[in-house]
Homo-oligomer: A and B are copies of this chain.
Amino acid sequence: MGVVVFSSHSLRSPFSTSPLSLSPLRPPLPPSKPPQISFSTSSPQMDPQIGGSSKRFMDFPYVSAPHRDLMVELVSTMESRLESSLLPCTLPQDVQYYHNHTGTAHACLHIRSGLKPSLIDFMLGSWLHCELPAGALNITSLSTYLSPLTDAPNFLMELIQSSPTSLVFILDLPPRKDLVLHPDYLQTFYEATQLNRHRQLLEKIPEVRPYSSSSLYIRFLVSPTAILVRIETGGTERMEEIVRHHVSSIAKEVLGTWLDWCACGERDMGEADRDYVAKRDRMIKQKTIEIDLGSSLPRLFGEEVAARVLAAIQEVFN
């Protein structure tokens, strides 16, 4: 699970009960903001604009201002709080930014591995823009996996915008232990942190509906306080208002909770505990590639680009 994972997952709609429901009747949508990237069908390695990949990642083009502001703030907060544990992003330039041959799908990927030993396994941010027959799809996401030095939950956020008036909002601290067998873990990270109140707040907004992944594995991966909602508004202004006033404040608060409660220190774990957590983490990463990226990336970006990006992600995952 992670940014790219959920993003690409979403392309096959693991969070909905039917194939990605971009209405075939909807005309192609213009980007909500003029693209800041020039499309090139030449090899990305040769793209003269590739130099500032990290800046390009932080551009979060195409999405609305409140959406972009939120992503920039979350990534900045995450990086500044975890800076001492993070290595620089060392992905190849043509993985930090990649696109398909026709320039209809392009994406930025930003992965920073954690120093060893540290609590951080890696931090992963991404954005993706696809012009699909039914309209433009924009996905932005941020997630951080912790290392087996702690069993505390990971962080995961993803915003999937299939039109300016339709947004799927996924926010969770996915558990790294079986909560049924470890009710103390549930108490520490989910009950004491009152994470459920965010979900309850969102449920009061009339435009918000529950959102269910079509992947049973993904459904079980998230915590019982996970936010998985679809927001459908009558107009773009109302969507921007909801993102600015509700989505943003909840996302920032949950990130704050995660930084304070989960990413803050080692946990008292025995050797067997660490082995168990490491094994579970490995399984999640493996399933993520298997269920998700391995099928959706080739479809959107072609075999060659997908193979390159997958290989780079696999390297971080291992």
A: residues with CB less than 8 A from B are 17, 178-181, 183, 186, 190-191, 196, 200, 203, 210, 216-217, 219-221, 223-225, 279-280, 283-284, 287
Q: Is the CB of B216 within 8 A of A191?
A: yes
Instruction: Say what secondary structure dominates the interface of chain A.
Output: helix
How far, in whole Å, are A224 and B226 apart by their CA atoms in the complex? 13
Q: Is the CB of A200 within 8 A of B17?
A: yes
Closest chain B residue to A195, Cβ basis: B216
Chain B min CB distance to A215 (Å): 9
Chain B min CB distance to A152 (Å): 16
Tell me which of B190, B203, B224, B283 contacts A181 (CB under 8 A): B283
Q: Is the CB of B181 within 8 A of A279?
A: yes
Q: Is the CB of B216 within 8 A of A17?
A: no
Chain B min CB distance to A17 (Å): 6
Besides the contacts A180-B221, A180-B280, what 20 more A-B pairs have beta carbons closer than 8 Å? A17-B196, A17-B203, A178-B178, A178-B180, A178-B181, A178-B280, A179-B217, A180-B220, A180-B284, A181-B279, A181-B283, A183-B217, A183-B287, A186-B216, A186-B217, A186-B220, A191-B216, A196-B216, A210-B210, A216-B225
How far, in whole Å, are A283 and B183 apart by their CA atoms in the complex? 9
How far, in whole Å, are A225 and B212 apart by their CA atoms in the complex? 11
